[in-house]
């Protein structure tokens, strides 16, 4: 745990070593250039960089690009849902036969729905969120010069990049990208005869996802190793900011559940290409009798949801961590119930592994088994409730500064309440019979893990942008971004609960055939219009982001928010190695705000014997 | 053309907003950043409170607008249980929703930054934390208990006097089989499926139990007040039998038959009197199954026992029609409406399901 042994400092970066700085044997040292002095080239500094801060920015920017793509997809299929009878010739101009006559073709619609889900769940809210903030914050907040293995960290990004390239290329194959939903249940996803999207597009989807899993594992192992082994002197686990705990548990979830997903995908690949029958049995597709017998289509769902459910916590836990930190800093108060917050993160992590079958109540699952999953699922509401109450109590009697980051943190809590409560409906198998696969589910998960996680991510970006780029984002644009997004998100998703009560199935192209579901025409139009506006507001954020990197107001003080945590003890533009001198020593927890009449006490300040205890 | 204009308008709006934002930054520097920051703080604190009020009004307004558009009364006894459970959950979560959202936004407004206001150092309070661990735990125990009580009633064994219907999902329609006079389904095997010879389900003709089995596509008939057990199959990919009015749902999985049962409470005619002549009990596919997923529609006719008997008597057993066709040497005639294949075409704005006979 001796930080002096952490030697992954690139020469050429101006780091003054006043402390001893020796080569650490087996301490994640991988570049082997601790002694030689060569100039960093553009390529090693910005492309194949091993600096965690640069890798974080790479994840973030790749995530932003994917978010634009995934968001655009949703706008396209919302056009179809809001205006099923209108032709948009511009769509044909861009998408050719996929939008013949200016109308989305069913295959294209299902491809868009599928890719929207895949891109946002995995490439934006897993890669983009964890990748960015784990990389940026772990070494900075625990006081390390870099990750345990900067080289593995770099590989993690480049596997993510390769996954992105393969996934993106699948959009351009002739038979179209995968179109069986982001869950890709076989036999639909296994049989090219059943759907065009299950032809080569599906193979590319699986390859891309396999690469993504590799990236996620390389990253996750690194995060765990770094947090466990490389904390600076005095930084005990219980002195870490909650962001660190959240990322730590996220990484554990990922490392334990992604391999299961990969195994499911490998079997699916075998079924598709090698004639095995893991998931296939008794199938007559398109008049063709397949030879497969004895497989179980439900097996895939177990394997998928064994990751799939922890996945939603992989998405939401980092957001919770970011929000806790941002909220405490801007309330000028310690986070309420630190140990309860850690405990509830831990409880959520454990329970996350035990609830996957609540996605499968109506698959013919044994009802007795289902009962256990109901119980375990609703148990998650307890740690979630604790977190919400603690956030609200953190605001109570604070002195709140509404920076854009703080606005998004408050918005996060509001969204998390709304979406969390609807989870109590769906987790109860009795109600799930009616609401399963309806718009209620769409509303629930978009609010609780889509919008909430995005709010956590935005809170993080607005808060740590000064640390990343040494400049501020434009505040006015930030406030506009927040208000348009929160109002829009509620307008889009709140009424969808009612569509769900009415039993309107999700993933329908059109409701004209149905006398039970065609009563929401006006509502669907309204939702489409709002979603276009919200999408435009996100583009404005993206513009603000890139503009401010180069032209934003400069940061003039190393600690602009008055934070106690270590990342703000680094220079305004930290080089590789983070601290020019020795790594600071830590003497207290991360939340001494407004204690003993002082605005904040940095973690690096020794405890004064006369200080009050907490 | 209008699309171009909309895009131009959006771009213009974009530029304007950006210019305002940039100007506001310069103004803030000129006026003193601290002063601007405090002003922003006040504005946003007020907006948070306004958002709470507007949001609660919006919740009420949304309910007024949409209340009448969600489904009416549940048409099965199971459905009543589910609606009941739903109501309890809405009440409990509704209370929690109101309390927490109001506390969140009210505290945000009330404790906005002010001169001379000091934040209160309040790191933890074990008693409070225990209270809000225990209260949710008790509430959830109630919800879980009630939920499971209903769950086991709904998923329990079907009553002995139930009628049995076999449902088979395929891309993109539904097929039904009735067991006939012997009340037993004959054996089937997927490799026997031969739609050209009028055997779409793969019935094995050497099994005598098959000889009186009846087949009908797209429309299922049920008897009012009589429990029905559905045995659910799929031929190609996973489908899902979604019965919104009965509040029931069950996946159709190739190779793994599933079951569900319920008791229809109202005939189709009664429902039409209540909800208008357009009313139909519909079977929706609730599991994505390919490009025609949204058009995989079936209907259910709920009628009196007498009407049902008359309808059943009008069907010819599949075995009989197949054997007759074979005897006469003529090309096989599939039983009424047997869909050899169905294709979905989109013509302009109109979407049709065409069954090719």
State whether B140 and A378 contact (CB < 8 Å): yes
The answer to whether B119 contacts A399, with C-beta atoms less than 8 Å apart, is yes
Separation CA A602–CA A563 (nearest Å): 7
Do residue A424 and residue B292 have CB atoms under 8 angstroms apart?
Answer: no
Q: B303: distance to nearest CA of chain A, Å?
A: 19
Interface test with A, best of B121, B145, B148, B272 (most A CBs within 10 A): B121
Of how many residues is chain A composed? 614
Coil/strand/helix, residue B182: coil
Distance in angstroms (rounded) separating the CA atoms of residues A417 and B145: 23
DSSP classification of residue B157: P
Lowest mean pLDDT among A25-34, A154-163, A246-255, B227-236: A25-34
Note the pLDDT of residue B329.
67
Token pair in block for residue A101: 């006559």
Model confidence pLDDT, tens digit, residues A117-146:
999 999 999 999 999 999 999 999 999 999
Task: Give the integer Cα–Cα distance in Å for A163 and A425.
Answer: 35
Q: B112 vs chain A: nearest CA distance in angstroms?
A: 5
Q: 113-172 in A: which are within 8 Å (CB) of B?
A: none
The whole-number pLDDT of residue A30 equals: 39
Q: Which two tokens stand for residue A478?
A: 């930030």
% of chain A at pLDDT higher than 90: 86
Residue of B nearest to A435 (CA): B247
Please name the member of B24, B28, B123 whose beta carbon is closest to the beta carbon of A334: B123
Q: In this structure, are residues B268 and B302 in contact, taking their beta carbons and an 8 Å threshold?
A: yes
**Average pLDDT of span A383-412:** 96
Percent pLDDT > 70 in chain A is 93
> Encoding tokens for residue A242?
């909650």
The reported pLDDT for the residue numbered B33 is 82
Spell A186-215 as b/e; 16+ CB within 10 A means b: bbbbbbbbbbbbbbbbbbbbbbbbbbbbbb
Task: Classify each residue of B287-317 as buried b or exposed e, where b means 16 or more C-beta atoms within 10 Å of its C-beta.
Answer: bbbbbbbbbbbbebbbbeeebbeeeeeebeb
* Closest to A496 (Cα-Cα) out of A487, A486, A504, A485: A504
What pLDDT, in 10s, does the model give residues B48-66? Answer: 999 999 999 999 999 999 9
Phi, psi of B199 (to 5 degrees): -125, 70
Beta carbons of A444 and A498 less than 8 angstroms apart: no
Q: Among B25, B137, B237, whose Cβ lies nearest the Cβ of A553?
A: B25
pLDDT of residue B342: 41
Interface membership of B145 toward A (CB under 8 Å): no
Return the biggest CA–CA distance within chain A.
83
Token code pair at residue B11:
């771009």
ipTM for this prediction: 0.90
Strands B219-223 and B297-303, by their bridges, are: parallel
The answer to whether the beta carbons of residues A63 and A130 sit under 8 Å apart is no
Strand partners, B170: B173
CA dihedral A311, B143, A396, A417 (to 10 degrees): 40
Average pLDDT over chain A, rounded to whole?
91
Q: Which pairing describes strands B239-243 and B248-252: parallel, antiparallel, or unpaired?
A: antiparallel
Task: Work out the pLDDT band at A320, boundaries 50, 70, 90.
Answer: very high
Contact A300, A223 (CB under 8 A): no
Q: Are B87 and A435 in contact (CB under 8 A)?
A: no
The residue-averaged pLDDT of A554-558 equals: 92
The three state secondary structure string of A297-332 is HHHHHHHHHHHHHHHHHHHHHHHHHHHHHHHHHHHC
Handedness of CA B77, B78, B80, B81 (dihedral sign): positive
Quickly state the pLDDT bin for A22 (edges 50, 70, 90): very low
3-state secondary structure of A89: helix
Burial (Cβ within 10 Å: 0-12, 13-18, ≥19) of residue A460: buried
Contacts of A195 (CB under 8 A, 6+ apart): A107, A110, A179, A180, A188, B290, B291
A285-317: pLDDT as tens digits: 988 999 999 999 999 999 999 989 999 999 999
**Residue among B78, B319, B339, B67 at smallest CA distance from B208:** B319
Instruction: Write the DSSP symbol of residue B327.
Output: H
Which residues sit opposite B303 in a β-bridge? B223
Confidence of residue A106 (pLDDT cuts 50, 70, 90): very high
- Please provide residue B219's backbone torsions phi and psi, each rounded to the nearest 5 degrees: -125, 125
C-alpha pair distances (Å), A339 with each of A174, A240, A272, B210: 54, 11, 48, 66
DSSP string, A111-141: HHHHHHHHIIIIIIIIIIHHHHHHHHHHHHH
Contact B40 A422 (CB under 8 A): no
Q: Answer yes or no: do B62 and A509 touch at CB < 8 A.
A: no
pLDDT at position A101, please? 87
Angle subtended at Cα A417 by Cα A414 and Cα A421, rounded to the nearest 5 degrees: 150
Q: What are the chain A neighbours of B193 within 8 Å (beta carbons)?
A: 284, 289
Distance CA(B69)–CA(B62), nearest Å, equals: 11
Tokens of A37: 């002095």
Whether A304 and chain B come into contact, CB under 8 Å, resolves to no
Q: From B136, which residue of chain A is nearest by alpha-carbon distance?
A: A382
**Nearest-CB residue to B249 (from A107, A283, A433):** A433
* pLDDT 10s digits, A231-243: 999 999 999 999 9
Please tell me if residue B296 touches chain A, with a CB cutoff of 8 Å: no
Partner A contacted by B26 (CB < 8 A): no
Contact A3, A145 (CB under 8 A): yes
Q: Which residue of A has its CA nearest to B23?
A: A476
Chain B nearest CA to A218, separation (Å): 33
How many Å lie between the alpha carbon of B113 and the closest alpha carbon of chain A?
5
Residue B27 has a pLDDT of 85
Query: In this complex, which of A297, A396, A480 lies closest to B254 when CB atoms are compared?
Result: A297
- Scored b (16 or more CB within 10 A) or e, B99-134 reads ebbebbbbbbbebbbeeeeebebbbbeeebbeebbe
Answer whether A393 sits within 8 Å of B236, measured CB to CB.
no
User: What number of residues does chain B have?
Assistant: 357
Are A257 and A215 within 8 A, CB to CB?
no
Q: Are A147 and A222 in contact, with CB atoms under 8 Å apart?
A: yes
Looking at chain A, the number of H-run helices and the number of E-run strands are 18, 4
B195 at A interface, C-beta within 8 A: yes
Given this model, what pLDDT does residue A614 score? 66
Structure tokens at A16: 């003054």
CA pair distance A76, A104, nearest whole angstrom: 8
CA–chain centroid gap for A495, Å, is 25
Chain A environment of B21 (Cβ under 8 Å): 474, 476-477, 480, 544
Sign of CA dihedral A478, A484, A489, A490: positive
**Cβ–Cβ contact B247 with A under 8 A:** yes
Count CB atoms within 10 A of the CB of residue B158.
17
Establish if B310 touches chain A: CB-CB under 8 angstroms.
Answer: no
Closest CA to A177 of A199, A148, A193: A199
Whether the CB of A91 is below 8 Å from some CB of chain B: the reply is: no
d(CA A181, CA A177): 11
B101 has a chain A CB within 8 A of its CB: yes
Sign (positive or negative) of CA dihedral B52, B53, B54, B55: positive
pLDDT of residue B195: 87
Query: Which one is predicted more confidently, A45 or A405?
Result: A405
pLDDT in tens, A82-104: 999 888 888 898 888 899 888 89
Number of H helices, E strands in chain B: 7, 12
Residues of chain B with pLDDT under 70: 1, 329-357
A17 pLDDT higher than 50: no
- Give the span between the Cα atoms of A62 and A164, in whole angstroms: 9
């Amino acid at each position: 745990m001796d930080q002096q042994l952490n030697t992954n400092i690139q020469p050429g970066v101006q780091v003054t070593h006043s402390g001893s700085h020796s080569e650490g044997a087996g301490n994640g040292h991988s570049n082997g250039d601790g002694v030689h002095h060569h100039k960093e080239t553009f390529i090693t500094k910005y492309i194949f960089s091993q600096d965690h801060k640069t890798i974080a920015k790479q994840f973030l920017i790749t995530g932003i690009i994917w978010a634009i793509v995934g968001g655009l997809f949703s706008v396209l299929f919302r056009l179809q849902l809001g205006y099923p009878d209108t032709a948009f010739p511009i769509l044909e101009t861009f998408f050719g036969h996929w939008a013949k006559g200016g109308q989305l073709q069913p295959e294209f619609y299902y491809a868009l729905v599928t890719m929207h889900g895949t891109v946002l769940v995995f490439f934006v809210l897993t890669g983009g969120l964890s990748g960015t903030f784990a990389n940026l914050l772990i070494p900075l907040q625990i006081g390390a010069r870099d990750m345990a293995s900067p080289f593995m960290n770099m590989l993690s990004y480049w596997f993510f990049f390769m996954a992105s390239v393969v996934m993106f290329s699948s959009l351009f194959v002739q038979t179209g990208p995968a179109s069986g939903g982001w869950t890709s249940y076989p036999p639909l996803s296994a049989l090219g005869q059943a759907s065009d999207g299950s032809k080569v597009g599906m193979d590319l989807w699986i390859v891309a996802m396999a690469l993504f899993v590799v990236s996620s594992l390389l990253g996750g192992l690194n995060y765990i190793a770094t947090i466990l082994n490389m904390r600076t002197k005095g930084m005990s686990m219980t002195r870490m900011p909650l962001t660190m705990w959240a990322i730590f548990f996220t990484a554990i979830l990922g490392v334990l559940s992604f391999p299961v997903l990969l195994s499911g995908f490998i079997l699916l690949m075998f079924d598709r290409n090698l004639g095995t029958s893991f998931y296939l049995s008794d199938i007559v597709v398109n008049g063709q009798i397949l030879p497969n017998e004895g497989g179980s289509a439900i097996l895939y769902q177990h394997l998928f949801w064994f990751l799939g459910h922890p996945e939603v916590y992989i998405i939401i836990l980092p957001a919770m961590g970011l929000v806790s930190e941002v909220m405490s800093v801007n309330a000028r108060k310690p986070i309420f119930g630190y140990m309860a917050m850690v405990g509830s993160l831990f409880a959520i992590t454990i329970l996350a592994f035990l609830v996957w079958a609540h996605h499968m109540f109506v698959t013919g699952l044994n009802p007795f088994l289902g009962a256990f999953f109901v119980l375990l699922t609703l148990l998650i509401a307890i740690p979630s409730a604790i977190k919400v109450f603690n956030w609200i109590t953190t605001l109570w009697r604070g002195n709140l500064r509404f920076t854009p980051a703080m606005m998004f943190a408050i918005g996060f809590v509001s969204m998390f309440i709304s979406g969390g409560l609807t989870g109590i409906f769906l987790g109860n198998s009795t109600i799930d019979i009616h609401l399963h696969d309806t718009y209620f589910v769409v509303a629930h998960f978009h609010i609780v893990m889509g919008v909430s996680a995005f709010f956590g991510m935005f809170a993080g970006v607005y808060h740590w942008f000064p640390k990343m780029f040494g400049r501020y984002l434009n505040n006015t644009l930030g406030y506009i971004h927040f208000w348009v997004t929160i109002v829009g998100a509620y307008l889009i998703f709140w009424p969808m609960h009612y569509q769900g009560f009415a039993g309107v199935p999700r993933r329908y192209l059109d409701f004209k055939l149905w006398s039970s579901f065609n009563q929401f025409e006006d509502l669907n139009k309204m939702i489409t219009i709002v979603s276009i506006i919200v999408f435009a507001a996100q583009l404005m954020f993206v513009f603000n982001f890139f503009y401010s990197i180069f032209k934003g107001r400069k940061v003039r003080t190393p600690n602009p928010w008055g934070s106690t945590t270590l990342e703000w003890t680094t220079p305004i533009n930290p080089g590789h190695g983070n601290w020019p001198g020795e790594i600071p020593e830590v003497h207290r927890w991360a939340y001494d705000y407004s204690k003993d009449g002082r605005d904040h006490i940095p973690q690096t300040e020794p405890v004064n014997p006369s200080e009050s205890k907490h | 053309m209008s699309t171009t204009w909309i895009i131009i308008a959006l771009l213009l709006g974009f530029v304007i907003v950006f210019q305002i934002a940039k100007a506001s930054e310069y103004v803030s520097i000129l006026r003193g950043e601290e002063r601007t920051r405090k002003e922003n703080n006040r504005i946003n604190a007020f907006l948070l409170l306004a958002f709470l009020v507007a949001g609660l009004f919006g919740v009420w307004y949304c309910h007024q607008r949409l209340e009448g558009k969600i489904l009416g009364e549940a048409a099965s006894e199971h459905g009543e249980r589910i609606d009941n459970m739903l109501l309890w959950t809405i009440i409990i979560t509704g209370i929690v929703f109101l309390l927490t959202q109001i506390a969140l936004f009210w505290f945000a407004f009330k404790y906005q930054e002010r001169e001379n206001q000091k934040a209160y150092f309040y790191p933890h309070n074990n008693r409070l934390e225990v209270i809000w661990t225990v209260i949710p735990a008790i509430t959830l125990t109630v919800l879980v208990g009630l939920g499971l009580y209903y769950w086991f009633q709904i998923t329990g064994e079907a009553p002995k006097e139930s009628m049995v219907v076999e449902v088979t999902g395929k891309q993109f329609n539904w097929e039904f089989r009735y067991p006939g006079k012997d009340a037993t389904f004959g054996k089937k095997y997927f490799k026997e499926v031969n739609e050209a010879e009028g055997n779409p389900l793969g019935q094995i003709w050497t099994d005598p139990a098959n000889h009186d089995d009846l087949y009908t596509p797209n429309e299922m008939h049920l008897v009012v007040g009589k429990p029905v057990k559905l045995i659910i199959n799929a031929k190609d990919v996973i489908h899902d039998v979604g019965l919104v009015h009965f509040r029931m749902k069950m996946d159709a999985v190739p190779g793994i038959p599933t079951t569900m049962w319920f008791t229809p409470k109202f005939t189709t005619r009664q429902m039409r009197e209540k909800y208008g002549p357009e009313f139909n009990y519909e079977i929706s596919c609730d599991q994505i199954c390919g490009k025609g997923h949204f058009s995989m529609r079936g209907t259910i006719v709920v009628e009196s026992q007498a009407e049902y008997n008359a309808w059943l008597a009008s069907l010819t057993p599949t075995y009989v029609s197949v054997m007759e066709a074979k005897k006469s040497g003529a090309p096989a005639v599939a039983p009424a409406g047997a869909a050899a294949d169905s294709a979905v075409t989109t013509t302009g704005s109109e979407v049709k399901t065409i069954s090719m006979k």
